[in-house]
Amino acid sequence: MPNDRLSTSPTAPRPRRRVPTITWLGIVGTAFLALAGLASTGVWGMLVMVALVVLSTMLYGVAFRRSTWLRIPRKRASAAIGAGIALVALIGSTSAYGATHAMPQSPAHLAAATAPSATAHAKPKASPRPTPTAIATPTPTPVVTTETVTETSRIPFGATTVESATLAQGTTTVTTPGVRGVDTKTYVVTYTDGVETDRVLQSDQVTTPPVNQVTTVGTYVAPVAPAAPTCTNGSYVNSAGATVCRPEAASSAPAGATAKCGDGTYSFSQSRRGTCSSHGGVAVWL
């Protein structure tokens, strides 16, 4: 009988499947892009980069029915499922990234947002801003000082006039020169921060009185010398040295006669002693 026993010879080992080089290249490239996304925008950026690589690889496999570095079967159904999963992952990671990172607005959007609307008639009410609390600044203490100040001023002198009978009329002379006096005033001056703010008079006295000027005016008028008498009977010089007319006969007393003698002549004697001594004595004194 034939031997129905199965052969117990050992099974030949399966050969190890080698990973294609393109798969390693895809893994390394995906890892590099993921690290770049992680370094620039964080975890969500890394997931976006991985999702983009996987999605583009799946779309390539669906379109050309070729095996990719992801080793997905060539069936379109498998590649489409992988592409859908990658698309969902891309949308989710992009939404999460946008929620956590505000996108900067372009200058055009900023200008449009800040430009006033042509149809707007009312300005929007500005929200009240908190009023800053004023910080009290310490007021500096003023520096107050006092000082005694003495000031002098001149006092004008007066003028008087006196008459003198010994000074010729029409002649004037200053007999006492005028001198101005001195008035002294004392003040207490108050300064605040170096600026004069008050002045109080403490004393006011005449320290040097003025001297009035005296002017003398002459009033003397010299007497007019009498004219020499006109003597018809001659003249003589009396004891006083004056020239006197000799007694003369006249029908009436001539000018300058002082007595009428006994013989009817008139005498011009200026002294009673010896008058009309040679003419019969004095009959009448004129």
Q: How far is CA 148 from CA 80, 200, 202, 205, 208, in A?
A: 110, 10, 9, 16, 21
Q: How far is CA 186 from CA 189, 192, 210, in A?
A: 10, 20, 20
pLDDT tens-place string over residues 119-178: 444 455 666 676 767 677 788 899 999 999 999 999 999 999 999 888 888 899 999 999
3-state secondary structure of 209: coil
* Buried b / exposed e along 68-78 (16+ C-beta atoms within 10 A): bbbebeeeeee
The pair of three-digit structure tokens given for residue 150, joined into one six-digit string: 């003495």
pLDDT of 76 > 90? The answer is no
Q: What is the pLDDT of residue 57?
A: 73
Residues forming a β-bridge with 150: 186
pLDDT band at 187 (very low <50, low <70, confident <90, very high): very high
Higher pLDDT, 75 or 264: 264
Q: What is the pLDDT of residue 114?
A: 53
Tokens 């006669």 belong to 257
Q: What is the mean pLDDT of residues 47-58?
A: 75
Whether this model's pTM surpasses 0.85:
no
> What proportions of the chain, in percent to the nearest 5, are helix, strand and coil?
25, 30, 45
Q: What is the pLDDT of residue 210?
A: 95
Residues forming a β-bridge with 205: 184
3-state secondary structure of 36: helix
pLDDT tens-place string over residues 264-273: 899 888 888 8
Q: What is the pLDDT of residue 6?
A: 44
Among candidate residues 93, 67, 91, 92, the one with its CA nearest the CA of residue 78: 67
pLDDT of 103 > 80? The answer is no
Q: What is the mean pLDDT of residues 73-101?
A: 66
Q: CA torsion 74→75→78→84, rounded to 10°?
A: 90
* Mean pLDDT (the chain, rounded): 77
* Sheet with 172-176, edge to edge strand ranges: 159-168, 213-220, 172-176
Q: What is the pLDDT of residue 29?
A: 77
Q: What is the mean pLDDT of residues 95-106?
A: 61
- The Cα–Cα gap between 83 and 33 comes to 19
pLDDT of 19 > 70? The answer is no
**For the chain, what percent of residues have pLDDT higher than 90?**
23
Q: What is the pLDDT of residue 119?
A: 43
Higher pLDDT, 16 or 68: 68
Among candidate residues 32, 33, 26, 31, the one with its CA nearest the CA of residue 70: 26
Q: In the chain, at which residue ranges do the beta strands (DSSP E only) sit?
A: 144-155, 159-168, 172-176, 181-192, 195-208, 213-220, 235-237, 243-245, 248-249, 259-261, 265-267, 282-285
Q: In 169-231, at which residue ranges do the beta strands (DSSP E only) sit?
A: 172-176, 181-192, 195-208, 213-220
User: Which of the 8 DSSP states describes residue 207?
Assistant: E
Q: What is the pLDDT of residue 35?
A: 79
